[in-house]
Chains A and B, each alone.
Chain A
């Protein structure tokens, strides 16, 4: 731990990134390239985590942590699995209409936990696949196959079906009961989903669906900052893992004279402001102790006891300023904010490592920790093991901070570019891409 503290910022980030990458080596199934949701025993596959893995391999090759052929082999295993997987939509299939169930068995790849067909998680998977196809561009048999598979998987997705004749995209579906109604309103991590759905050459959604979604946005002045409100920090990060939002604006952001990157920067500042106010008087909240997001946390042990005061939410999307907030913070989401506000993130990250070494194992951050629920020795409650989403975000966002590798790859991805253009994004690299295309 002392050694870590002595590292310069760049070296520290490299070390965190590489340790995070170790998660994907440890939890991948060599049979089918699928990756576990978390490192606990018998964890299922999360399709979103596979998307992060596909992106992480490109970073690993670029950084020299993995041979290119190895990365291609692992990517091909996953992509071949998804191509061949049962798409019948039956309760024990892998997917339907080109989408996939959220959680799969790591050996067989079939649906587990009666999970939902997840539109947003499928989009994270496909974004990872598209990243791979933009990186592995050599004219070799394997890399050609990889690109063909990605093209096939993307084109197979019936985004239009997922609209279910509604104004916006549905977020989930189950064979047992049809489309689910989460009531998602307001800004979220869904820009990536909309961009991919708008750009589809086979089953695009209507252009006005993006407008319908953004009409639920709330532009708020909070703690002195103007920003597009969303409570949990991950909502300000996930689409940004793949899309470089610096200088590009949709109609909403043009009206507000901001962009989504700047918005995420402000979201980081607001998180810190909230933690400094610490309205619920939790331990560990201060200018360098923040990070409320979707993460694993402690949960009530006796949920059925009537009138018991319930304050612990388990795995939940915690957010500011309205909560839920049970004193659980997440270090990975702090690190994943590094491209937006390194001046806040780096000191916070160092503080968390120094103050809570118990949540830092194998060089990786636990999903969540809760200093208010400390044990007799003063050690914070810590979520067991590690989560793939967290580790994927750490790798990608540090890389975007250091080299913009993922952003550069995806700026050249026609589906991302076209989707954003269809959503009304203009300026910056989108305009540049259009000019280049015109030449």
Chain B
């Protein structure tokens, strides 16, 4: 039970951790002697920085990569990779507990081995760290520097005491959890995604503050691992970006799992009494206090812009909103670009990577690739998953685009029924009267995988009717996409026939 200040948690120093550190920041590492003038200097070795470094180096550029902590950044170390790992274990426990639903016996004496689950997290993280190891970077010809980077002027920066000159720089410092200013929270101690994967004991009672993607994913995972979990969200729905039905389905799923859901609720203050954290909550006019053993928070993400001395380089930024870039991802300094969470609204590993590729092409090869031209999918990895690409209906309405949505509930899909995974839907939005796909939302057990087909169609300019002619293997859950396409095709055929009949009648 973490009675201590949670911020003091450290990663267990086991064999996995030794290998991970050896891969991502070996103690014996000595920074290279800086080259004369780098074609590209990258600050931050997360998904954006790594992709930029490897891409630019592969194309023959002189590249320096600076990291203050661990290569791999949030995604590998404290984000996507560990969270998916723990989500998988929690799903397994949920399925065991729900075995009767699948015509199976509930195994006798299910006992959650939280330490083993977390050890698996560390093992997987370590294994994947090999793909991003410093050895690979060095072998690719990238000069890797560990230390604190700060600009000196428009074309120079320091890594601790070493000076690096650059033709072009890329700021890819990422973001960190934004901690809400709740009186007493800091003193009581709290977890964020940066610390939660260091736990080795399951908190008996967990409060999650914030109903964004990370909060929702971890609340469900910890609940399924046996923590008595409460989630507090200050808005009427979870995942405020997503459409109402998706958020509603998620709320229902949480309730089924046994999560105490508190929407429209704020945490007013935290205090510690007899080793437990007492959190005062308010929902409209209803106040109450709950006692928990751990608090997990992180309401949004704060871009890492501090300490870089951006003013010296003439790079405009705002503390809350990050570095200001144009559509080509160039900052106010034409020699400095930014990519990933430090400048983007869409803060995902894949957007970071794609933005880095754009920067390499634009910065080193005089490309004119625009960020706004991209079609961006994303997914929240709850159960069911919630994935989206393109426009929401409300956005299309605001832009004056008439929208029609083809909806297929997952209970219409044989495979989803056979798998007892028939909660959710596929909604594909098209411009009314055409089959041009504007966007889609999928709520399904494997929505994250399914959304890619829609993204592909949108990027390739394939209309929804054409997807109806794409044979889908039976029995798969992706059949829902084909069914939506078939509904679109059938509807438009009917309209065409109706118009032809009307024309004949007029003649």
Q: Tell me, yes or no, whether B228 is within 8 Å of chain A by CB.
A: yes
Chain A residues lying within 8 Å of B487, measured Cβ to Cβ, are 221, 224
Q: Is the CB of A279 within 8 A of B397?
A: no
Choose the segment among B44-52, B156-164, B403-411, B450-458 that binds chain A (4+ C-beta atoms closer than 8 Å).
Answer: B403-411
In contact, A222 and B407 (Cβ under 8 angstroms): yes
Task: Give the shortest distance, in Å, between A296 (CB) and chain B (any CB).
Answer: 19
Contact: B405 with A177, CB < 8 Å?
Answer: no
A176 touches B412 (CB 8 A): no
- Is B329 at the interface (CB under 8 A from chain A)? no
**Residue-wise interface mask of A (298-321) relative to B, using a CB-CB cutoff of 8 A (1 in contact, 0 not):** 000000011111110000000001
Question: Does B422 interact with chain A (Cβ within 8 Å)?
Answer: yes
| With A181-B264, A218-B393 as contacts: A307 and B402 at CB distance below 8 Å | no
B418 located at the interface, meaning its Cβ lies under 8 Å from any Cβ of chain A in the complex = no
Of the stretches A128-136, A182-190, A358-366, the one at the interface is A182-190
- The answer to whether B255 has its CB under 8 Å from any CB of chain A is yes
Which of A176, A182, A186, A218 counts the most B-chain CB atoms under 10 A from its CB? A218
The number of residues on chain A lying at the interface, defined by a beta carbon within 8 Å of a beta carbon of chain B, is 37
Answer whether residue B318 sits at the interface, using C-beta atoms and an 8 A cutoff: no
* A83 at interface, CB cutoff 8 A: no
| A180 with B397, Cβ < 8 A, contacts A277-B412, A306-B258 known | no
The CA of A181 and the CA of B105, in the complex, are separated in Å by: 44
A255 CB-CB contact with B under 8 Å: yes
Among A183, A229, A305, point to the contact of B235 (Cβ < 8 A).
A183
In the assembled complex, which residues on chain A have CB atoms less than 8 Å from the CB atom of B425?
321-322
B153 at the interface (CB under 8 A from A): no
Q: Which residues of A contact B397 (CB under 8 A)?
A: 215-217
Q: A300 → chain B, closest Cβ, in Å?
A: 9
Q: With an 8 A cutoff between CB atoms, is A219 at the interface? A: yes
Describe A's contact surface by its main secondary structure.
loop
Interface residues of A in 190-245 (CB under 8 A from B): 215-222, 224, 226, 229, 231
Please give the distance in Å from A289's CB to the nearest CB on chain B.
17
Cross-chain contact of A176 among B237, B264, B285 (Cβ < 8 A): B285
A307 neighbours in B (Cβ, 8 Å): 97, 223, 226, 228, 257-258
Q: Does A323 contact B (CB under 8 A)?
A: yes
> What distance in Å separates the Cβ of B257 from its nearest Cβ neighbour in chain A?
7
8 Å CB contact of A279 from B258, B404, B409: B409
With the chains together, A224 CA to B487 CA distance in Å?
A: 7
CB distance from A407 to the nearest CB of B (A): 29
Q: Is the CB of A324 within 8 A of B412?
A: no
Determine the chain A residues whose CB is within 8 A of the CB of B404 once the complex forms: 219-221, 226
Interface residues of B in 402-439 (CB under 8 A from A): 402-407, 409, 411-412, 417, 422, 425, 427, 432
Complex-state Cα separation, A307 to B110, whole angstroms:
14
Residue A90 lies at the interface, judged by CB distance under 8 Å to chain B: no
A76→B97 CA distance, assembly (Å): 60
A108 within 8 A of B: no
Bound-complex Cα distance A308 to B223 (A)? 11
Q: Does B394 sit within 8 A of A, measured CB to CB?
A: yes
Cβ of A309 and Cβ of B285 under 8 Å apart? no
Residue in A174, A181, A186, A220 whose CB lies within 8 Å of B427: A220
State in angstroms the CA–CA spacing of A136 and B244 once bound together. Answer: 43
- Give Cα A224–Cα B237 distance, bound, in whole angstroms: 29
Nearest-neighbour CB distance to chain A for B212, whole angstroms, equals 15
| Candidate in A174, A176, A183, A324 with the most chain B CB atoms within 10 angstroms | A183
B249 at the interface (CB under 8 A from A): yes
Residue A432 CB within 8 A of the other chain: no
Interface residues of B in 365-410 (CB under 8 A from A): 393-394, 397-398, 402-407, 409
Contact (Cβ within 8 A) A309 B256: yes
Interface of A toward B, CB cutoff 8 Å? 114, 174, 176-177, 180-183, 185-186, 215-222, 224, 226, 229, 231, 255-256, 277, 279, 305-311, 321-324
- 19 additional contacts, CB 8 Å, given A215-B398, A321-B407? A114-B285, A177-B285, A181-B235, A182-B236, A183-B237, A215-B394, A216-B397, A219-B405, A220-B404, A220-B405, A221-B487, A221-B491, A277-B411, A279-B411, A306-B228, A321-B411, A321-B425, A322-B248, A324-B252
Give the interface of B toward A (CB within 8 A).
Answer: 97, 223, 226, 228, 235-237, 243-245, 248-249, 252, 255-258, 264, 284-285, 393-394, 397-398, 402-407, 409, 411-412, 417, 422, 425, 427, 432, 487-488, 491
Q: Which 6 residue pairs across A and B have the least CB separation, nearest first?
A: A183-B236, A176-B285, A279-B411, A307-B258, A215-B397, A220-B405
List, sorted by A's number, 5 A–B pairs whose CB atoms are closer than 8 Å. A176-B284, A220-B427, A305-B258, A307-B257, A310-B255
